Chain A
């Protein structure tokens, strides 16, 4: 820490003009609203209830917007030079590339799955089974 401590922020001068309570509060409100918006996918008004992918895409878009807001305003990137993208964009690209390359072997691992494994793997039918057991079984014993 002491090393950091030593660094007086001599560029602080740049930032003084920016920011300000009002802007931060606006960003804060936007973040809160966006967070609440993620829940929109759960509401009855959401049209794509049987296509979860749409909801996921929506929520990721919301998250990315939130991330942008935090990076741009709270992390002051909006007011500063673009050099920070030099670091973060390649990192983000590499991260994305890693995930994409993981898809065929891990994301689609069930394509090559062995019977021994499949036999012990949870299946959607198990969930149905449990749900059916829930309806039948609980009404029988009626714990509630």
Chain B
């Protein structure tokens, strides 16, 4: 193997951390990055993401650079030196077990709070809306004028979820048929809908606007097109919208009734 071999391969391996970091540096600039966060809790998730990115980034750069350095430096073509005969080092083993252990343990404990906020500390309130996933649409049920879900005056809609901004929302998530996943990229929410289970999902939006509802669990051939929209509006607008939808439903009662039947059964 000639001298060029070591240099060349060293550079190839050096390209990994260099280009790797470059990709992550460029990505936000070309808008291939975390979508805009409009939730009250999302910053916790994003900052944890950045924290882990920094942590793993350091480990990544350090280890890849070491690898490059060793490849560069210890190329056999560099002189007729014998390899160092070393079986290992007890101290080193301890060091590189303890340090990652401490880091990871810290990470594990540090994140528990964010997790609990999103999945465990369920707000004590009746559901704002029920979302029932079904091949391949999102069926929505608002409590109607009496404010109670499961009564005759419930409002039934499909795929078009409107919610008030700046308010705690509790979604009751269900599925009729197979698994689906209620994914709101802009709210950092994802929860599988499981047939036979009713799963609470809560969040609070801080901005108005329309956003995607994505189905993130394979649910059959139409999985790719199981798209919904979630729209956040101010409370008055929301009430007005609700009223309008409600009268629309009343005008077409029989149809809506049938839809309702399906959703419950």
Contacts and interface: CB of A to CB of B under 8 A. Distances in A.
Q: Is chain B in direct contact with chain A in the complex (CB below 8 A)?
A: yes
Interface of A: 109, 112-117
B265 A116 contact: yes
Contacts of A109: 196-197
Contacts of B176: 116
B97 to A, nearest CB: 23
A112 B176 CA distance: 15
Contact of B150 (A112, A113, A115, A117): A115
The 4 A-B residue pairs whose C-beta atoms are closest, nearest first, are A114-B198, A117-B196, A112-B197, A114-B174
11 contacts: A109-B197, A113-B196, A114-B174, A114-B195, A114-B198, A115-B150, A115-B264, A116-B174, A116-B196, A116-B265, A117-B196
Question: Chain A interface mostly helix, strand, loop or mixed?
Answer: helix
A86 to B, nearest CB: 25
Given A112-B199, A113-B198, A115-B150, 19 more contacts: A109-B196, A109-B197, A112-B197, A112-B198, A113-B196, A113-B197, A114-B174, A114-B195, A114-B196, A114-B197, A115-B198, A115-B264, A116-B174, A116-B176, A116-B196, A116-B264, A116-B265, A117-B195, A117-B196
Nearest to A112: B197
Contacts of A115: 150, 198, 264
Interface string B30-57: 0000000000000000000000000000
Interface in B58-104: none
Nearest to B174: A114
Contacts of A114: 174, 195-198
A14 B264 CA distance: 69
A82 to B, nearest CB: 30
Nearest to B176: A116
A116 B174 CA distance: 10
Contacts of B196: 109, 113-114, 116-117
Interface string B139-170: 00000000000100000000000000000000
A113 B174 CA distance: 10
Contacts of B264: 115-116
Nearest to B193: A114
A115 B195 CA distance: 11
Contacts of B150: 115
Interface string B190-205: 0000011111000000
Contacts of B198: 112-115
A115 B174 CA distance: 10
Contacts of A113: 196-198
Contacts of A117: 195-197
B197 to A, nearest CB: 5
Most buried by A among B150, B196, B198: B196
